Amino acid sequence: MTKLTTRLVFYPAIVLVYSILLIPLVIVIATSLTVQSAPTLPTDGVTLDWYVSLFENQRLIDAMVVSTIVASATAVVAGIVGTITAFGFVRSEVRMKETLATIMLLPLMISPVISGVAFLRFGSLLPIPRGYPQIVLAHSILALPFVFLIVRSRLLTFDERLEDASVIMGANRLETTFNVTIPIIAPAMIAGMLIAFVISFGEFTATQFLVTPSTTTVPIIIFNQIQTGLSPEISALATTLVILMVIVSVTGDQIGG
């Protein structure tokens, strides 16, 4: 194929794909800078006023704090449970292992709206307190398949003879776990935890059933504001999140390699 035909064949795909992926993000960022009171493109000058009003809005600040607490707790819970599960799957031989692995992925396959309803009903039957405990548990279940998949794929390339070497050198199992095993899988575990953080921070569908007035998360606020009246302040809030998430992903890339 000549260079020209390659271009003619593939340029439409490049334009279409990158437009549909990136224009929404660019528009959100651009409209946060408008001087008008509706979220429009800043064709007549830019201002950071909407960021100022954002950081003066106590409700939004509170939601940011709630989301950060929830996402951090989710990362820890999903990170630990996901890693334990991945270890279990790689280090044991049982019948129907593939089927059991598929079961671990069920939270991905069942609509989050059903997960949310189910969790709310279950939470009211068992004494799981509303607010943080319910939201964190629900989020960590939704993030679990991702942590499991990431850590498992890392463990598949793990050389178990390194642990044997440690044991031969006289370390006990606890020392081996903390000095050999965990440092080797730490990058995968951290990558999994960062993904759990990001999933939790952005989750809306299941969360809408579980929030309480004092534990309202950022996506809930954004949804309500989109429904009640558009203001560039939502764009400013969304842009702040975009920046936060890009920082998280770049950090993860540095650590996770």
Site for other proteins in 100-119 (CB under 8 A): 100-115, 117-119
Q: Tell the burial category of 98 from Cβ atoms under 10 Å away from its Cβ (0-12, 13-18, 19+).
A: exposed
| DSSP code for 36 | S
* 164 φ/ψ sector (left φ>0, alpha ψ -120 to 50, else beta): alpha
Establish if 8 lies at the interface with other proteins (CB under 8 A). Answer: no
- Look up residue 244 and give its two tokens: 């936060």
Query: Which one of 46-54, 57-65, 136-144, 184-192 is the stretch in contact with other proteins (CB under 8 A)?
Result: 136-144
Q: Which is nearer to other proteins, 37 or 214 (CB)?
A: 37
* 79 φ/ψ sector (left φ>0, alpha ψ -120 to 50, else beta): alpha
3 state SS of 34:
strand
- Look up residue 134 and give its two tokens: 């319910």
Name which position in 8, 55, 65, 121 contacts other proteins (CB under 8 A).
Answer: 121
Name which position in 27, 35, 69, 76 contacts other proteins (CB under 8 A).
Answer: 27
Kindly provide the b/e burial profile for residues 26-53, where b requires at least 16 CB atoms within 10 angstroms of the residue's own CB. eebebbbbbeeeebbeeeeeeeeebbee
Q: Which is nearer to other proteins, 88 or 131 (CB)?
A: 88
Q: Which is nearer to other proteins, 35 or 248 (CB)?
A: 248
Interface characters, 210-239, with other proteins (x: CB under 8 A): ---------x--xx--x---x---xx--x-
Name which position in 137, 184, 186, 190 contacts other proteins (CB under 8 A).
Answer: 137
Q: Which is nearer to other proteins, 83 or 215 (CB)?
A: 83
Contact 139, 81 (CB under 8 A): no
Query: Which one of 44-52, 53-61, 140-148, 184-192 is the stretch in contact with other proteins (CB under 8 A)?
Result: 140-148
Torsions phi, psi of 34, nearest 5?
Answer: -70, 150
Q: Which is nearer to other proteins, 215 or 236 (CB)?
A: 236
Name which position in 35, 69, 76, 248 contacts other proteins (CB under 8 A).
Answer: 248
Q: Could you say which residues in the range 154-213 bind other proteins, by CB under 8 A? A: 160-161, 163-164, 167-168, 198, 201-202, 204-205, 208-209
Query: Which one of 44-52, 55-63, 91-99, 185-193 is the stretch in contact with other proteins (CB under 8 A)?
Result: 91-99
H-type helices in the chain, by residue range?
3-31, 49-56, 58-90, 97-104, 106-109, 112-125, 132-155, 161-168, 173-176, 182-202, 218-228, 232-256
Number of residues that bind other proteins (CB under 8 A): 94
Interface characters, 46-85, with other proteins (x: CB under 8 A): -----------------------------------xx-xx
